[in-house]
Homo-oligomer: A and B are copies of this chain.
């Protein structure tokens, strides 16, 4: 555990830097997918077998309250987490494409031209119209991914 770049923010808020939290943060930092609490637990256990699932949840909540992780619901009945760009400079803000057939989630950061600009304008428009101060947003497109389009349509709403 060498990179201590973000621990200051944690200490400043009165939270303590523990071995468990270092491990969880490291796992999140290295992940390039959205992890569930349970997936983090498995990974953490292999490094520190005594760690408890409760600690995973508590740490994720702390990081969420600090605004360091995003928490997503892709309709699987459990949350998924990822460090956001306030924490990791390599993690760029992105949106999601969720396949309704295979449940795969595609992140995309390479927004179509003008998308970023349009979002900025939309946010300021919302602020003007509704007096609502936007902090974050979630944009998810649901549909059928390229691979699934090749397969035969099975039952369901798809």
Q: Please report A residues at the B interface, Cβ cutoff 8 Å.
A: 64-67, 71, 73, 75, 97, 99-100, 106, 108, 110-112, 114-115, 117-119, 121-126, 129-146, 149, 156-158
| Shortest beta-carbon contacts, A-B, top 9 | A112-B125, A131-B146, A118-B118, A114-B121, A134-B143, A73-B73, A115-B122, A135-B143, A134-B141
Whole-angstrom distance between the alpha carbons of A148 and B146 in the complex? 43
Question: What is the oligomeric copy number?
Answer: 2
Determine if A65 and B115 form an interchain contact, defined as CB atoms under 8 angstroms apart. Answer: no
Residue of B132, B141, B142, B144 near A143 (CB, 8 A) is B132
Best-surrounded residue of A118, A123, A131, A144 (most CB of chain B within 10 A): A118
Contact B133 A143 (CB under 8 A): yes
Q: Decide if A118 touches B108 in the complex (CB within 8 Å).
A: no
Q: Which residue of B lies closest to A124 (CB)?
A: B112
Q: Nearest residue in B to A110 (C-beta to C-beta)? A: B129
- Please give, as numbers and ranges, the residues of chain B lying within 8 Å of A132 by CB-CB distance: 97, 99, 106, 141, 143-146
